[in-house]
Structures are given as C-alpha cells and as structure tokens.
Amino acid sequence: MDRIYNGMPARELGSEGWHKPWSGGNGGNCIEAMKLADGRVAVRQSADPDGPALIYTHGEIAAFIQGAKAGQADFLLR
C-alpha cells in the first residue's frame, strides 16, 4: 500500500482489521472502522466495502467521539 488517502477505495486497505463499533440494527448495514498503523482511523460503509474510505487523524476521531458523548451530535437524531 503506497499511500493512504481520504476517499481511497476501502478494498485497498485490505479485509482484515475492520470492526463494526456502530451497528444500527438496520439489517446489517452499519459503519466499520479500522485503526491504521500510523494511528489514523479509516471508516467505511459496511454495505459498500469497496466504496471510499474516509481517513481521520487520531485527533479528529477523538474529537468526534468526545463530542458525541457530550451530546453535540444529538441534533442528527431529531
């Protein structure tokens, strides 16, 4: 793997190491995440494992998780 970049085909990251920490009970379609060797996190849609992977830095994913825990994303559920 020469270069990991935002929007790259998720299949290029391989099939091992993906986890489903967010399962919405919607027939198996959910978000999958993989921690990369350099500490970044790749996220993909489980229904489209060959689609694009979104790549986040450790700081970005930490801010997202902390914000979600604090209720800052609750507006998405209304």
- The pLDDT of residue 21 is 72
Domain extent, residue 72, equals 10-77
Number of structural domains the chain divides into: 1
Strand order in the sheet with 30-35: 19-23, 30-35, 41-45, 54-56
- The pLDDT of residue 42 is 97
14-37 pLDDT per residue, tens: 999 999 876 666 566 688 999 999
Q: Is 1 part of any domain?
A: no
Kindly report the pTM of this predicted structure: 0.84
Q: Is 4 part of any domain?
A: no
Q: Is 14 part of any domain?
A: yes
Q: Residue type at 9? A: P
- The pLDDT of residue 22 is 65
